Amino acid sequence: MKFFAFLFFLFIALSNFSQNHSLPALKYAYNAYEPWIDAQTMEIHHAKHHQAYITNLNKAIVGTKMEKLSIIDLLMYASFRSDAVRNNAGGHFNHSLFWDILAPQTSQTPISSDLAAAIDSEFKSMDTLRVKINQGATTRFGSGWVWLSVTPDKKLMVSSTANQDNPIMDVSKDRGIPILCIDVWEHAYYLKYQNKRGDYLGAIWNLIDWGIVSQKYNAALNDSLLVELEKDNWMELKDFHKVMAQTFHPAEKDNLEPLRKRSAELMAKSSLLLASKAPKSLDKPAVKVALVQLEKQCIEINKLNSKNASDLVLKKKITAAHDTFHKVQELCHD
């Protein structure tokens, strides 16, 4: 009886475990992408490699608050995630987009006039865009991806990332919403093209469904994620946030040692934040006023620390500075 009860609870646990992220089905049969990508590569890539990212992602987040987060939330703050979450969430998102934009030539839909005009405006021509994307793919050392994305200022951008990173992640220098990607991991092409990445890159363009890319372009232009990416790309704010978190939270628990060791760093980060250029949507007087106050508080904390102020005094001051920083964060999300 106990054995059957164990099996029942194991089944329930595995059922719950599998509900987080799952493998999206391909829109076409594995052999539908031939001759450009062979059926065996498609099957291994989709059913083995992509599935492994999903399995490992679910393992990495099970039993944590991240179980309730969307894939976008997992990506947005990749620098705060474990390597397992960062790599596997990226692997899941990246491959899902890749499958979505691929189609046999007989099933492809035409590019929209809006996207065609944007490409001509930004890159002069479709041919120039292809050259730029292929350059990004061929110069990507090792494994990674090349992207066409919509930036926060609603321009088109070509970029490349290593491993399973992508432009949504806060670890990426060039951020935006991807609308097209090309996988340049060897498992994407090695069975057919061996080490000839250039041949694979020449072939993959035959499978791009520009109608689907156009739909993603229009959706990205109206996605509130663009605003969030712009705000989140204020690196000086993020740098200050990390030091504040690493000094304030121990102080909450009456451990002032991190603050005493890093008060000068906290002060320096506050000055860099005040002097930095805010994203366009955050360049407003109320934010500036709060940052001026925050710098004054951090300067005072460092001065008090240099004079060996008591833990009680420092805790009170870092709490006030933390409240001011929260005010800055709230203003950034208004």
CATH code: domain of residue 124: 3.55.40.20
Beta carbons within 8 Å of 154's beta carbon, 6+ residues apart: 221, 226
Predicted local confidence at residue 3, as pLDDT: 47
| Domain limit, last residue, from 198, 223, 248 | 223
Query: Is residue 11 in some structural domain?
Result: no
The model carries a pTM of 0.78
Predicted local confidence at residue 323, as pLDDT: 97
| Domain limit, last residue, from 196, 223, 250 | 223
* Euclidean distance between the first and the last CA atom of the chain, given in angstroms as a whole number: 57
Residue ranges of the chain with pLDDT lower than 50?
Answer: 1-18
| Domain limit, last residue, from 223, 253, 282 | 223
Taking the C-alpha atoms of residue 42 and residue 26, their distance in angstroms, rounded to an integer, is 10
Find tokens 């490409």 and name the residue.
119
126 and 156 together in one domain: yes
Predicted local confidence at residue 7, as pLDDT: 44
- What ranges in 26-184 are assigned the alpha helix state H? 39-43, 51-61, 71-76, 83-101, 113-123, 126-138
Query: Is residue 245 in some structural domain?
Result: yes
Structural domain total, the chain: 2
Predicted local confidence at residue 9, as pLDDT: 42
Predicted local confidence at residue 275, as pLDDT: 97
187 and 127 together in one domain: yes
pLDDT tens, position by position, 39-95 = 999 999 999 999 999 999 999 999 999 999 999 999 998 988 999 999 999 999 999
Longest dimension (CA), the chain: 76
Give the range of the structural domain holding residue 194, as residue numbers without chain letter: 28-223
Predicted local confidence at residue 280, as pLDDT: 82
